[in-house]
Chains A and B, each alone.
Chain A
Amino acid sequence: MNSITINKNISPGIEFKDNSVLRKFKNRLFKFIIILLSIITISPIVLILSKLIIKGFRQINIDFFTQVAPDTFEAMTAIASGDIIPGGIANGITGTFLIVIIASVIAIPIGIITGVYLYENPGKRYANLIRNLSDILQGVPSIVLGIIGYLWVVINVTNGFSALAGSVALAIMMLPLIVRSTEETMKMVPENIKEAAAALGVPYHKIIIRVMIPSSFSGLLTGILLAISRVLGETAPLLLTTLGSSFINLDVSKPTSAVPLLIWNFYNDPNMINLIWSSSLFLIGLVLALNIIAKRIIANREK
């Protein structure tokens, strides 16, 4: 048994030079650099938010939500007489809601059903193809989807710039996010709930509608909210599809404004600069509110 023989001590020799002072210094220095760079990383968000709040807060009043955007002349006279610029972004707010609601109506059912399909057929070749295509779609630059909205809807369907074209572009952006989040949340539903229902003879479609979707409801909602918040601030695809409008428009086949489009217009018009900040503050507030709600739902679910 005791066949192992121990060699003579490996001589400690000169190899143990005490380098601990330098190493500890490097260690401290590195930690300091990490903290410093982390502070630099988050400083833009602090600077951006404070800039928007300081500059934009004054412009936000009742009119801001109820009036349409002013024209250059109105803004110019207001500036000349030292008043705040009249009007608001009502046409943008209604347009954003219209475009995003239509996009959601398109993307949510397709996204959820496709997500359920992927969950139900995890190993299939075709399902993997769909999953990979969905991942590729998620990486398509939004401007390219703007061109798609233009080619598919503006030219062929509405014969002109329209809210619908913008909605189609945004729906394609939302789709992969909803597909992925649906599949992921379905995976978290305990298998035995499904089996229990199946054992009772509940038909397949009812298992999905009555069991799978309700038990993963909060996850689905989170995915949808994050998808909406992701497209809410999109400007580039709308430039190519919905164009913009100075009126409140609720007709999906007509050009429509949106908050980010208004910001773009204000940016390009030196007289309207003051409205940039309040509109941006509103837009960012909307996006962050959706994000916070979604994160709350996740946090509650994890409890």
Chain B
Amino acid sequence: MNSERITKRVLFTVSLFILIISTGILASLIKGAMPAFKEYGLNFIISPDWNPTEGRESYGALPFIFGTVVSSVLALILCIPLASSTSLFIAEYYKKTKVASILKTMVDLLAGVPSIVYGLWGFYVLRPVIVSLGLSDQGFGIFTSAIILAIMIIPYATSLSNEVIAMVPNELKEAAYSLGATRLEVIFRVIIPNAKSGIVASYILALGRALGETMAVTMLIGNANVIPKNIFSTGNTMASLIANQFGEAEGLKLSSLIAIALLLFAITAVVNASGKFIINKLS
């Protein structure tokens, strides 16, 4: 065998790792989740009970699926006005200026803050604000987590949005201006329609980020294993439940936590894949 073929063989063989790891993750999660699904069947997904008391053990994922989706969607809703304003600031109003590059650097810094530090800041700074506003007694809950999540996902929401907004051809904007449109009208009638799919994709990917966030949420959501009554009450997310309860878990409880990890894996994979699908269609 000549050296070229050996090299190609090596490249190919190493690339198999990605395949092995991906299928391995899925296989291990399914295997670990099996006892829980055998015990509860699909009821596991829709059951609202999470009761580890010995003898009366009962595990259901619904409160956590609910908590995860509600906190992430709320985070996305809070994130959109902030992130889209920032994108318009950087990629339209102050495009290619010093002030835009400073703003962009600061937004990038947000991505460098570890999740646990967001949690600390949320706990010591944001939570007292929530309490003093009278939104909840102790400041823990879905809403508090969603605010922190919204801040955390801003860099992911803006980076692609910035690119697609900056890429809207100048000649289209000029065409609209030459007809007398104001900048506001150019933004809503030309820039956003032309950059729409890229903007949507960036928010989908940001949502994917929020769904899997763990530490900051664990520290702020209140870790109540019930379906939250409203956005200001406490709850729990799938990731946060795993972080809290994995340490002392065994048997059916361990399997249930792995089953929740499997569900979380599936939800984020679907969300991320749809975001990537839109991006691939763009290019």
CA A82 to CA B22, docked complex, whole Å: 53
Cross-interface CB contact of B182 among A24, A134, A142, A172, cutoff 8 Å: A24
CA A214 to CA B263, docked complex, whole Å: 42
CA A263 to CA B119, docked complex, whole Å: 11
| Most B-side CB within 10 Å, residue of A23, A30, A137, A277 | A30
User: Is A114's CB under 8 angstroms from B15's CB?
Assistant: yes
Whether A34 is near chain B, meaning CB under 8 Å from some CB there, is yes
B window 110-124: CB within 8 A of A: 110, 112-121, 123-124
CA A38 to CA B107, docked complex, whole Å: 10
User: Is A287's CB under 8 angstroms from B18's CB?
Assistant: no
Cross-interface CB contact of B212 among A40, A116, A142, A205, cutoff 8 Å: A142
Whether A60 is near chain B, meaning CB under 8 Å from some CB there, is no
Q: How far is the CB of A64 from chain B (nearest CB, A)?
A: 17
Q: Which of B82-90, B138-146, B165-173, B225-233 contacts A (4 or more CB under 8 A)?
A: B82-90
Q: How far is the CB of A260 from chain B (nearest CB, A)?
A: 5
| Most A-side CB within 10 Å, residue of B15, B110, B115, B183 | B15
User: Is B88's CB under 8 angstroms from A236's CB?
Assistant: no
CA A203 to CA B257, docked complex, whole Å: 51
B window 158-213: CB within 8 A of A: 182-185, 187, 205, 208, 211-213
CA A254 to CA B121, docked complex, whole Å: 32
Whether A62 is near chain B, meaning CB under 8 Å from some CB there, is no
User: Is A233's CB under 8 angstroms from B15's CB?
Assistant: no
User: Is B18's CB under 8 angstroms from A134's CB?
Assistant: yes
Contacting residues, chain A, for B273 (C-beta < 8 A): 132, 135-136
User: Is B116's CB under 8 angstroms from A34's CB?
Assistant: no
Whether A99 is near chain B, meaning CB under 8 Å from some CB there, is no
Q: How far is the CB of A120 from chain B (nearest CB, A)?
A: 7
Binary per-residue interface labels of chain B (43-78) against chain A in the complex, 1 for a CB within 8 Å, 0 otherwise:
000000000000000000000000000000000000
Binary per-residue interface labels of chain A (102-128) against chain B in the complex, 1 for a CB within 8 Å, 0 otherwise:
000000011001101110100000010
User: Is A113's CB under 8 angstroms from B15's CB?
Assistant: yes
Cross-interface CB contact of B85 among A38, A49, A130, cutoff 8 Å: A38
CB-based nearest B residue for A37: B85
Cross-interface CB contact of A44 among B15, B25, B103, B110, cutoff 8 Å: B110
Whether B11 is near chain A, meaning CB under 8 Å from some CB there, is yes
Q: How far is the CB of A297 from chain B (nearest CB, A)?
A: 15
Binary per-residue interface labels of chain B (123-138) against chain A in the complex, 1 for a CB within 8 Å, 0 otherwise:
1110000000000000
CA A36 to CA B6, docked complex, whole Å: 59
CA A144 to CA B116, docked complex, whole Å: 17
User: Is A143's CB under 8 angstroms from B12's CB?
Assistant: no
CB-based nearest B residue for A232: B114
Whether A4 is near chain B, meaning CB under 8 Å from some CB there, is no
User: Is B114's CB under 8 angstroms from A288's CB?
Assistant: no
A window 139-182: CB within 8 A of B: 139-148, 150-152, 172, 175-176, 179
Contacting residues, chain A, for B106 (C-beta < 8 A): 42, 45-46
User: Is A236's CB under 8 angstroms from B272's CB?
Assistant: no
Q: How far is the CB of A146 from chain B (nearest CB, A)?
A: 8
| Most A-side CB within 10 Å, residue of B117, B247, B272 | B117
User: Is B22's CB under 8 angstroms from A133's CB?
Assistant: yes
User: Is B215's CB under 8 angstroms from A41's CB?
Assistant: no
User: Is B242's CB under 8 angstroms from A143's CB?
Assistant: yes
Contacting residues, chain B, for A26 (C-beta < 8 A): 182, 184
Whether B1 is near chain A, meaning CB under 8 Å from some CB there, is no
User: Is B107's CB under 8 angstroms from A42's CB?
Assistant: yes
Contacting residues, chain A, for B109 (C-beta < 8 A): 45, 49, 288, 291
Whether A276 is near chain B, meaning CB under 8 Å from some CB there, is yes
CA A240 to CA B42, docked complex, whole Å: 27
Top 5 closest A-B pairs, CB basis? A233-B114, A141-B212, A139-B272, A37-B85, A236-B214
Task: Return 6 A-B CB contacts under 8 Å, by A number.
Answer: A51-B124, A129-B19, A136-B272, A139-B269, A144-B29, A236-B214
Add 8 more A-B contacts to A38-B86, A139-B268 (CB < 8 A).
A35-B93, A44-B151, A48-B117, A51-B124, A146-B246, A205-B4, A233-B112, A235-B115
